[in-house]
Structure 1
Amino acid sequence: MEQTLSAADFFAAKLRFETDPADLAAERTRGAGPLLIDVRSDASWSAGRIPGAVHIVGADLGTRIAEVEPDRDADIVVYCWGPGCNGSTRAALTLSRLGYSRVRELIGGFEYWTREGFAVVSDTGRTRRAPDPLTAPTT
């Protein structure tokens, strides 16, 4: 018997496994923020990242996640560069296969976090860009 997935089921699942920059920022403001894992390269990490994120290059995630020691029910959000990068999807799949049950992907990745005007930290300090009016309300 073929099972069919309704549109409602699909979109409910999508919301369960993804978050966007504004929702993530709101979670963090409430103090209920998840463990953030940046899976980009070392050079990308040095140039800028979401404050409080942990850096594990995507290719090393499976072998290095134990260094962070999250429990299997920890709320985890992974991110990569942006919509043109599937590194966060691969990372979420890796963590899910390792038994982490609450993994989400940051849609838009670091690019949209930055474009929406949220704080960024780099090896040289903390900054914040003005929101891009095409991605976030400016009034």
Structure 2
Amino acid sequence: MADDALSETRKIVRQVLVIGALSVLLAAAVHFPLVKRFARGEFRENFLSQEDYPGIRLITIQEAEDLWAVGEAVVFDARLERPFREGHVPRARNLPATGSRQKIPPDILELQRERTLVVYCEGGDCQSSLALAKRLHDEGFTDIRVMTGGWEEWKKAGLPVEAGDAEK
């Protein structure tokens, strides 16, 4: 009787190991093309390397609100103009991250390069704020903060909002 229980346990363990090994092989086969693309650096633009971008760091909604409340930072909304007009952080400037072809306006380029800049986009998995932060960094700005959670988290936290045209 004890031998039967031990034999049954071994059989179950063997089945679990086989299923686990097959799962690993299947996952590797399915994701191999993505792993190859990652190794070639195709997803590099979606990551923030502190070595390449030492002036950019991620901050929480609370940290962004603290900087905004005391007027210590210039806030940029990286979304397109229409969503910006529908609602944004008060005093934020609309600077869509629509690609590197769009020039950064001269009045922004006239800001002191050490000035604290806070950048946000829609939220969650939005990459626009990161893309804009990298562009600003490439223009020489040295203190850029990317607000994680973006506009959605700002609204959800019940923080001040305004709608309408961009601040000039």
- Structure 1: state its 5+ residue gaps: 1-9, 125-139
Alignment partner for residue 52 of structure 1, among 87, 91, 100? 91
SS at match of 1:90: helix
Are 1:22 and 2:65 matched, yes or no?
no
Match of 1:97 in 2: 138
Aligned equivalents of 1:52 and 1:121: distance in 2?
Answer: 8
Aligned residue pairs total 111
**What is the CA–CA distance in structure 2 between the aligned matches of 1:78 and 1:65, rounded to whole Å?**
16
Q: What CA distance in whole angstroms lies between the structure 2 residues aligned with 1:40 and 1:54?
A: 10
* Residue 60 to residue 66, structure 1, CA distance change in 2 (3 Å): farther
User: Which SS does the other structure have where 2:126 is aligned?
Assistant: coil
Structure 2 partner of 1:82? 123
Note the C-alpha offset of 1:42: 0.9
Tell me what 1:135 maps to. none
Letter paired with 1:18: L
Deviation at 1:26, TM superposition (A): 2.1
Larger % of helix: which? 2
User: Residues 68 and 75 of structure 2 are in contact (CA less than 8 Å); yes or no, is this contact kept in structure 1?
Assistant: no
- The one-letter code matched in structure 1 to 2:126 is C
Flag the 1:92–1:118 CA change in 2: closer, same or farther, 3 A: same
What is the TM-score with the length of structure 2 in the denominator?
0.59
CA distance in 2, matches of 1:96, 1:53: 18
Which secondary structure state, in structure 2, belongs to the residue aligned with residue 122 of structure 1?
Answer: coil
Equivalent AA in structure 1 for residue 92 of structure 2: A
Q: Which has the higher strand share?
A: 1
Counterpart of 2:59, as a letter, is: T
> Quick one: distance in 2 between partners of 1:80 and 1:119?
16
Q: Is 1:24–1:33's contact at 8 Å kept on the other side of the alignment?
A: no
CA contact (8 A) 1:38 1:57 kept: yes
Secondary structure of 1:78's counterpart equals strand
Determine the C-alpha separation between the residues in 2 that align with 1:72 and 1:92: 13
Alignment of 1:111-130 (within 5 A): 111-123=152-164
Aligned-partner Cα distance in 1 for 2:72–2:151: 16
Q: In the alignment, is residue 67 of structure 1 matched against residue 115 of structure 2? A: no
